[in-house]
């Protein structure tokens, strides 16, 4: 009888090299698939928030919340919370996944989106100002071309919110050109607030007709935030 022959060292090294080569080829593809799946989760979260916003408008004569500053009133995510399936435990928002984007780098962040708190004096105004009162949906002339929520930028100038009353809950809105993804400012008040490259080369956005779309940073303009076109 012939004795069974085991693998030689060279044969084992060849097999290991082939496996390593296959992994090197597959890993980038797997990473892309993972990022795409996370992008889908983010878009589904925005759609869920859009449903809550629609229900809120139904209850409040078609008004939706806008910006917030100086600790006045409640932020948009506090107002929508009673309309979501998930609830915070006490005042802790870390049990609520709908406000989270899975690709946000700091996993302690619970509010991964910023709301349209921008108002303009006329269609030639390229600066605008923050609006602190709700707006009626009928005031929006082109809801399918008007952003309501967008991916929140990450960075040391952006607050991490774990509870509703944490510092920075009044900075989850967009109301200045410096807040747009194409800008480079990193100031706590006048720094970029819309993510420049959260998903590929742009940010997911919820529009006022409640559809969700990925907007590339190079295509992200002030006009997308105007209620009055």
pLDDT tens readout for residues 102-149? 999 999 999 999 999 999 999 899 999 999 889 999 999 999 999 999
User: Looking at the domain assignment, is residue 3 inside a domain?
Assistant: no
User: Looking at the domain assignment, is residue 1 inside a domain?
Assistant: no
- Residue 71: predicted pLDDT: 47
Structure-token pair, residue 5: 């022959």
- The SS3 of residue 207 is strand
User: Looking at the domain assignment, is residue 46 inside a domain?
Assistant: yes
**CA geometry: angle 46, 47, 51, nearest 5 deg:** 115
- Residue 17: predicted pLDDT: 81
In 174-207, which positions are buried (b, 16+ CB within 10 angstroms) versus exposed (e)?
bbbbbbbbebeeeeeeebbbbbbebbeebbbbbb
- The number of distinct structural domains making up the chain is 1
Out of 61-65, 71-75, 152-156, least confident range: 71-75
Question: Dihedral sign, CA of 30, 113, 140, 85?
Answer: positive
pLDDT tens digits along 99-110: 999 999 999 999
User: Looking at the domain assignment, is residue 4 inside a domain?
Assistant: no
- Residue 206: predicted pLDDT: 98
Residues 6 or more apart from 96 whose CB is under 8 A from it? 81, 84, 86, 87, 88, 110
Structure-token pair, residue 199: 């998903």
Closest by alpha carbon to 82, among 101, 60, 62, 108?
A: 60
* pLDDT surpasses 80 at 6: no
Q: How far apart are CA 145 and CA 227, in angstroms?
A: 9
**How do 135-136 and 63-64 pair as beta strands?**
antiparallel
SS3 content of the chain, % helix, strand, coil (to 5): 35, 15, 50
User: Looking at the domain assignment, is residue 151 inside a domain?
Assistant: yes
Closest by alpha carbon to 79, among 106, 95, 94, 60?
A: 60
**Domain that residue 57 falls in:** 9-225
User: Looking at the domain assignment, is residue 2 inside a domain?
Assistant: no
CB 174 within 8 A of CB 122: no
- Residue 95: predicted pLDDT: 87
Higher pLDDT, 207 or 11: 207
């Amino acid at each position: 009888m012939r004795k069974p022959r085991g693998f030689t060292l060279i044969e084992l090294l060849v097999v290991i090299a082939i496996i390593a080569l296959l992994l090197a080829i597959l890993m980038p593809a797997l990473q892309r698939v993972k990022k795409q799946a996370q992008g889908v989760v983010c878009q589904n979260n925005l759609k869920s928030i859009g449903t809550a916003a629609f229900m809120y408008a139904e209850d409040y004569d078609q008004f939706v919340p806008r910006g917030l500053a100086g600790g006045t009133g409640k932020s948009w995510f506090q107002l929508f919370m009673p309309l979501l399936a998930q609830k915070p435990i006490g005042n802790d928002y870390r049990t609520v996944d709908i406000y989270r984007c899975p690709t946000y780098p700091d996993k302690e962040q619970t509010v991964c989106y910023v709301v349209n708190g921008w108002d303009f004096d006329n269609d030639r105004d390229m600066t605008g100002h923050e609006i602190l009162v709700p707006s009626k949906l009928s005031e929006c002339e082109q809801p399918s071309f008007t952003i309501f929520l967008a991916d929140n930028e990450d960075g040391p100038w952006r607050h991490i919110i774990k509870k509703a009353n944490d510092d920075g809950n009044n900075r989850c809105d967009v109301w200045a050109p410096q807040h747009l993804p194409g800008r480079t400012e990193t100031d706590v008040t006048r720094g970029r607030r819309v993510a420049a490259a959260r998903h590929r080369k742009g940010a997911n956005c919820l529009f006022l007709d409640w559809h969700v779309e990925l907007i590339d940073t190079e295509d992200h303009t002030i006009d997308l935030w105007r209620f009055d076109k």
